[in-house]
């Protein structure tokens, strides 16, 4: 009989509304299964209470611990479900996808509504996640995100609504599949990758470009100990000229600067040759993040810098 682990970390899926205080952590992972029945297939379910915190509390160090936990748990089960808050779910999912290379499915799930709200989605998302974890076709796909009947790849999944049940999308590659009575995969998973980091380079700061942006935040970041900087740049990978002085300052101090974009779709590229344009940034020595969004480029950079050889070029150059 197959064995599935639920590794609970917290989020709205484990919360309920406390009168006067709003939503707060309430349920253990084990309590999430109340009232759920699985007539089709028998399996053993076990629980591991990793934490019960809202996901804005989850730090990269926690992601590393979750990763270590799933890497050892998968040796003794057929699949793992991780409950997590939706706010940073895409960051943890991407981190785990780069640090877990086993063939048992690891399914991350969450909820947008908590009791006593009507139409809560947590139980249904767990039900769907169990189906995905039990499905033979899920093997070798690594980490996936299951929410609102949809299966997403960590590489691409993004939260796009603060409140809608259809809170997630996969802007570049589309859904991996759906759960419509049974699990249906539309496409192969986005190419799996692994970064063997022995430590995490922290902090990596994420700095946004906007009209009139200057270099103060970049300078502050460098002077206060950042190990690297990700720029959430404009459009194709461009920044206002006011940011250049700070970027040069960071590069002169030996900090890697990675260019991503705040735009939802498409790649950054050294296309524009004007002052602050992508080509200017590439000539200065910035790395480019392709179509990886800034919050995930940050995860990738902290892992790449945590490898023995600090192999940033290896993990970013293919994007250029």
For ligand ASP, the binding residues (CB under 6 A) are: 11-12, 54-55, 85-87, 110, 112
Q: Which is nearer to ligand ASP, 52 or 271 (CB)?
A: 52
Q: How far apart are CA 143 and CA 140, in angstroms?
A: 9
Q: Could you write out the DSSP letters of every residue in 176-187?
A: SEEEESEEEE-S
Residue 31 Cβ vs ligand ASP, minimum distance, rounded to whole Å: 16
270 is written with which tokens?
Answer: 């050294």
Residue 84 Cβ vs ligand ASP, minimum distance, rounded to whole Å: 7
| ∠ CA 83-4-64, rounded to 5° | 50
Residue 208 Cβ vs ligand ASP, minimum distance, rounded to whole Å: 21
Is 12 annotated as catalytic?
A: yes
Q: Which is nearer to ligand ASP, 10 or 270 (CB)?
A: 10
Residue 12 Cβ vs ligand ASP, minimum distance, rounded to whole Å: 3
| 134 and 121 Cβ atoms separated by less than 8 Å | no
Q: Which is nearer to ligand ASP, 56 or 174 (CB)?
A: 56
Q: What single-letter DSSP state applies at residue 238? A: B
3-state secondary structure of 269: coil
| 286 and 258 Cβ atoms separated by less than 8 Å | yes
What angle do the packed helices 294-304 and 60-73 form, to 10 degrees? 70
Handedness of CA 76, 79, 81, 87 (dihedral sign): positive
Positions annotated as catalytic residues are 12
């Amino acid at each position: 009989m197959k064995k599935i682990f639920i590794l609970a970390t917290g989020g709205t899926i484990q919360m309920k509304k406390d009168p006067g205080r709003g939503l707060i952590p309430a349920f253990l992972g084990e309590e999430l299964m109340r009232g759920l029945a699985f007539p089709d297939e028998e399996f053993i379910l076990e629980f591991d209470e990793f934490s019960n915190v809202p996901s804005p509390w989850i730090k990269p160090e926690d992601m590393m611990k979750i990763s270590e936990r799933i890497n050892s748990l998968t040796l003794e089960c057929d699949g793992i479900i991780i409950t997590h808050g939706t706010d940073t779910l895409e960051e943890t999912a991407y981190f785990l996808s780069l640090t877990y290379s086993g063939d048992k499915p690891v399914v991350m799930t969450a909820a947008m509504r908590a009791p006593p709200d009507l139409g809560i989605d947590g139980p249904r998302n767990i039900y769907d996640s169990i189906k995905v974890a039990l499905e033979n076709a899920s093997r070798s796909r690594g980490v996936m995100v299951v929410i609102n009947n949809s299966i997403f790849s960590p590489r691409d999944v993004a939260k796009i609504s603060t409140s809608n049940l259809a809170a997630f999308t996969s802007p570049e590659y589309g859904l991996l599949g759906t759960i419509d009575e049974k699990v249906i995969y539309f496409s192969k998973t986005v190419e799996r990758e692994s970064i063997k980091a022995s430590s995490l380079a922290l902090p990596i700061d994420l700095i946004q470009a906007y009209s009139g942006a200057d270099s103060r935040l970049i300078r502050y970041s460098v002077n206060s100990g950042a190990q690297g900087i990700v720029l959430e740049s404009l459009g194709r990978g461009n920044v206002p000229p006011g940011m250049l002085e700070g970027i040069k300052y960071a590069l002169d101090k030996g900090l890697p600067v990675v260019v991503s974009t705040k735009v939802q779709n498409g790649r950054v590229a050294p296309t524009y040759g004007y002052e602050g344009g992508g080509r200017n940034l590439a000539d200065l020595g910035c790395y480019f993040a392709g179509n990886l969004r800034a919050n995930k480029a940050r995860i990738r950079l902290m892992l790449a810098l945590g490898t023995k050889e600090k192999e940033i070029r290896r993990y970013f150059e293919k994007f250029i």
